[in-house]
Amino acid sequence: MADHEATAHSHHHEEDPQAHATRRAVLQAALGVSAGATLLSALWVGASLIPRKEEVPSKEPVAVGDVLVFATGPKANQEITLDDLRAAQREPIPFILAFPRSPQNVVKKDLITNTIMVILADPARMSPETRKLASPEGVLAYSAICKHLGCTVSQWQNGLWRCPCHGGEYDIYNQARVVGGPVPKPVPQLPVKVEGGRVVVAGEFTDRPGADV
Amino acid sequence: MYRWLDDRLSIGKLYAKAFRKAFPVHHSFFLGEITLFSFITLVLTGIFLTLNYEPSIRPVSGPLSGGQEVPAAYYSILYIDSLPFGAVIRSLHHWAAHIMIAAAFLHMLRIHLTGAYKNPRELNWIVGVFLLVLAILTAFTGYALPFDNYALTATKIGYEIGAAAPWVGKLLSDILFAGELSPTNTQTIPRLYSIHVLWLPLTLIALISLHLVIMIKQKHTQPRYAEKVAPGKIVGVPLFPQQAAMMGILFLVYIGATTFIAGAFLAHPVEAFGPPTANTPAVKPDWYFLWIYGILQIIPANWRFEFLGATFGPQFWGGILVPTLIILGALAIPFLDYSKEKQRYLELPSRHPFRTSFVIGVLMFYIMSTLAGYKVDLGLSNELLWVLVLVVPVVTGVVSYILIKAIYGKEWNQEVQVELRGKGPATD
C-alpha cells in the first residue's frame, strides 16, 4: 500500500523515490519523538495527582512528652486530667478521645492516626503486658483508629470497646486483643504516665497505628 | 419553517432513519428508560446544586450555622436547604441516584433473564455492566460532598477499602481522594467534587451514548409475541411519535413520583450529624453497598497473610475480591452462555430453568449478604450467617430449578413436539 502510494506520488512530481523515503523516515521519527514527549509530560502532570506530603507541626506523629488533650466536645483542645478520666468512668462511654499536644503547644490533630483513646481502668484487671505500659493509677491509652477500615473506635458495649463501622470489638485489659468482628489485628497501645494531673505520652505506639491495609 | 430547516439539515432523512426506529412494546422494556430519566434528573438537579455549593472546607460561620464555625461545604448545604425547594431538589438528587441504580440493576436482570445478552449483543451487555459500576462509583464520590460527620466516615471507609487492594491500592486511593481522609484535609473535597460533577458524569454520558447507539444499530431483541405476529420482521411502534409520547408520559410520571418521594422523605439532613469530628458515628451504607458491608462483617478476622509486601486481610476479601469477582462474572456471562446464531427473540425465563434459577440464586445471595449487614442489630452469629450466605442461595437455586422443570417442563415438551409435528409435512 505504502509503496503504491509512493510510486503514484513520484509519478506526479517526477521525484526521486530515495528522497521521498528519507522524508518519510524523518517525519515518522518526528512523530515518534512527539508522541513520546507528550506521553512523558502527561505522566508528569498525572503524577501531580498524588498528594504531596506536607510537613506541618499539626501533622507530626505522636511523640514522647506530648500531653493528651480532648479531641472532641466542649472541652476540645483542653488537657485531660485524672479528674476528667474519673468523671468519664461514670458515663456510658467511659473513655475519652484525645489528640497529643506537643511541648510547643501544637495540637497534632491533622494526622488521623494521632487519634487516641484514653481511659482510667482497674490495673488489677489488666494483663501484665498491658499494665506495664499503663500509668500506676491505671491510665491506659490506645490508638483509636480501627485496624479494620480506619473508623474511630467510639462505642462501649458490655465492657468491650467497640467500632461502630463493622462491629470490631477490643478487650482493653488485654493489649486490645480482638474479641469480635472482622478486625485482623489489635490496635497498638500507647505508653502513658500521669504528671501533675495531666496524661503524658511515655513511649512510642507498640505497632503502626491506622487501618491494616 | 420545516422546509427551510429540511433544506439545510435534511430532516426528512433523519426522520426516516432515526425517528422511525421501532420500539417493541412491553412494560419491562421501560426499565432502561427509567434509568435514563434518572440520569437526566440527576444532571438537572446536579446543575442546581453546583450553582450553590462551595467545594471547600475553609471554616466559615453565619446565621445558618448559628454563628458556629463550620466547613464551607457543610455551610453551603445549609444554604441550599434554606433556598425555596432547595432541600427538595437536593433530596431529589439523592433519590434519583437510588432509583437510577435500582432501575439499572432491574434492567440488567431483565436482559439476563431473557437471554438478550447473547450474540450479537455481548458488547452492549459489557457496556451496561460498566455503566452500572460507574453509576455506583459516581454515587459514592458524591457521599463526601455535604461534609458532615456521616459523609466523612462513609467516604473514609471507601478510602480504606480502596487502599486494601494489593500493591497499588494505597496509591489509587490517594489519587482519588487526594490523600487520607480527615476533617482537615483541604484537598479531598475539591478532588471528589471534580470527579463527581465532571469526570464521572462525562464518562457516563459517553457510555450511555455508546449503549444507545449500539442498541439502535443492533435493534432491540424482539419480545416473544413478535414471532407469532410477524415472524422474521421487526415489530414495534416508531420512536416518533408513538414511543416518544409514551416516554414523555413516563418521564412526567417519573418526575412526579420521585419529587413526591423527595419531598416526603428529605434525604440526609446534615444537621443530624454535624460537621466532622474525631469521633465516628454509627453508620450503615446505602442498600447497594449493604451486601458488601454484610460480607465485610462476617469474614473471619484471622484470614490474613502478607505476600510480597502486600497485606491480604479481611478488608481485601470482603471489600475488593468479592465485588471484583462478581463484576468479572457479570462480564463473562455472554461468553459462557452464547448462541451461534444471532439472537432475534427474547427467551422465556420458564424455558431456561438453569439460567433462571441461577439468577434467583444470585438474588438470594444478595439478600442474604444484605441480611449479614444487620448482624449486630439482629444478634446473628457468624456461623449462621455463613450458612445463610453460602447455602441458602444454592438451595434456592436448586429448588427453583426443580420447580420450574416441574411446572413448565411438561408444557414445554408438548410445545416442542407440536412444533416438530408442524414442521413435519414441510420437510417431507
Whichever domain contains A82, its CATH number is: 2.102.10.10
pLDDT at B321: 96
| Subunit contact B315:A211, Cβ cutoff 8 A | yes
Residue B182 vs residues A145, A174, B289, B346: alpha-carbon distances, Å? 12, 29, 22, 51
Check: CB of residue B156 under 8 Å from CB of residue B278.
no
A162 within a domain of the structure (yes/no)? yes
Residues A35 and A74 in one domain: no
A11 confidence band (pLDDT: 50, 70, 90): low
The answer to whether the beta carbons of residues B120 and B343 sit under 8 Å apart is yes
Do residues A141 and A79 share a domain? yes
Partner-chain residue, chosen from A99, A153, A213, that has the shortest CB–CB distance to B164: A213
Contact indicator for A99, A116 with CB cutoff of 8 Å: yes
Work out the mean pLDDT of chain A and round it to a whole number.
Answer: 92
Asked if B301's CB is within 8 angstroms of A182's CB, the reply is: yes
Instruction: Say if the Cβ atoms of A51 and B179 lie within 8 Å.
Output: yes
How many other CB atoms are found less than 10 A from the CB of residue A92?
8
- Domain membership of residue A212 (yes or no) is no
Nine-digit cell string for B331: 462480564
- Sort residue B283 into left (φ over 0), alpha (ψ -120 to 50) or beta: beta
- Which residues in chain B (320-379) have CB-CB distances under 8 A to chain A? 375-376
Residues lower than pLDDT 50 in chain B: 424-428
Is residue A118 helix, strand or coil?
Answer: strand
A149:B296 CB<8 A:
yes
Question: Are A95 and A156 contacting, i.e. CB atoms less than 8 angstroms apart?
Answer: yes
Q: What is the dihedral of CA A54, A58, A62, A64, to 10 degrees?
A: 120
Structure confidence at residue B426 (pLDDT):
41
Query: A17 and A104: one domain?
Result: no
Closest to B156 (Cβ–Cβ): which among A111, A150, A185? A150
- For residue A207, being part of any structural domain is answered with no
Q: Is position A160 within any domain?
A: yes
pLDDT of A116-175, one tens digit each? Answer: 999 999 999 999 999 999 999 999 999 999 999 999 999 999 999 999 999 999 999 999
pLDDT of residue A1: 45
Percentage of chain A surpassing pLDDT 90? 86
Using a CB-CB cut-off of 8 Å, the residues of chain A touching B281 are 154, 164
pLDDT at A32: 97
- The C-alpha angle with vertex B174 and arms to B168 and B178, in degrees rounded to 5, equals 160
Are A39 and A82 found together in one domain?
Answer: no
Tell me which amino acid residue B422 is: G
Residues A19 and A99 in one domain: no
Q: Report yes or no on A194 lying in a domain.
A: yes
Most A CBs within 10 Å: which of B184, B280, B321, B378, as the mutation test of the A interface?
A: B280
Determine the structural domain holding residue A22 and report its residue range: 2-47
Residue B144 phi, psi (nearest 5): -75, -20
CA distances from B215 to A26, B113, B127, B128, B220 (A): 44, 18, 11, 11, 6
- Taking the mean position of all CA atoms in its chain, how far away is CA A33? 41
A84 assigned to some structural domain: yes
Q: Does B285 touch chain A (CB under 8 A)?
A: no
Q: A166 contacts in B (CB within 8 Å)? A: 293, 296-297
Judgement on whether residues A101 and A37 belong to the same structural domain of the protein:
no
Indicate the pLDDT class of residue A13, thresholds 50, 70 and 90: low
Contact B282 A163 (CB under 8 A): no
| Element (DSSP H or E) covering residue A177 | strand A177-180
The interface predicted TM-score (ipTM) is: 0.85
- Clarify whether residues A13 and A35 are in a common domain: yes
Candidates B163, B296, B303; nearest CB to A213: B163
Cβ atoms of A193 and A119 closer than 8 Å: no
Tell me the C-alpha distance between B84 and B62, whole Å: 19
Count of domains observed in chain A: 2
Regarding whether A61 and A42 lie in a shared domain, the answer is no
Task: Report how far residue A181's alpha carbon sits from residue A191's, in angstroms, rounded to the nearest whole number.
Answer: 26
Q: Which residues of B touch A176 (CB under 8 A)?
A: none
Is a pLDDT exceeding 70 seen at residue A105? yes
CA distances to B8, B10, B25, B224, B235 from B1, in Å:
11, 13, 33, 42, 33
Same domain, A33 and A91: no
**Shortest CA distance from A111: residue in chain B:** B182
> B375 with B298: CB under 8 angstroms?
yes
Kindly list the distances between the CA atom of residue B260 and the CA atoms of B95, B96, B103, B176, B255, in Å, as whole numbers in the listed order: 10, 12, 18, 34, 8
Judge whether A167 lies within some domain: yes
Closest by CA to A191, choosing from A138, A126, A135, is: A135
Interface test with B, best of A72, A157, A166 (most B CBs within 10 A): A166
Query: Chain A residues within 8 A (CB-CB) of chain B?
Result: 49-51, 58, 71-72, 97, 99, 109-112, 115, 144, 148-155, 163-168, 178, 181-185, 211-213
Find out whether B335 and B367 touch, Cβ atoms under 8 Å. Answer: no
- Is residue A79 domain-shared with residue A30, that is, in the same domain? no
Is residue A94 located within the same domain as residue A122? yes
Q: Three-state SS for B110?
A: helix
For the stretch A147-159, pLDDT in tens is 999 999 999 999 9
Asked if A64 and A108 sit in the same domain, the reply is: yes
Choose from B160, B302, B374 for mutation: most chain A CBs within 10 A: B160
Read off the amino acid at residue B158.
G
B393-402 contacts at long range (C-beta below 8 A, 24 or more positions apart): B393/B361, B393/B362, B393/B364, B393/B365, B393/B368, B394/B361, B396/B357, B396/B360, B396/B361, B396/B364, B397/B357, B397/B358, B397/B360, B397/B361, B397/B364, B398/B357, B400/B353, B400/B356, B400/B357, B400/B360, B400/B361, B401/B353, B401/B354, B401/B357
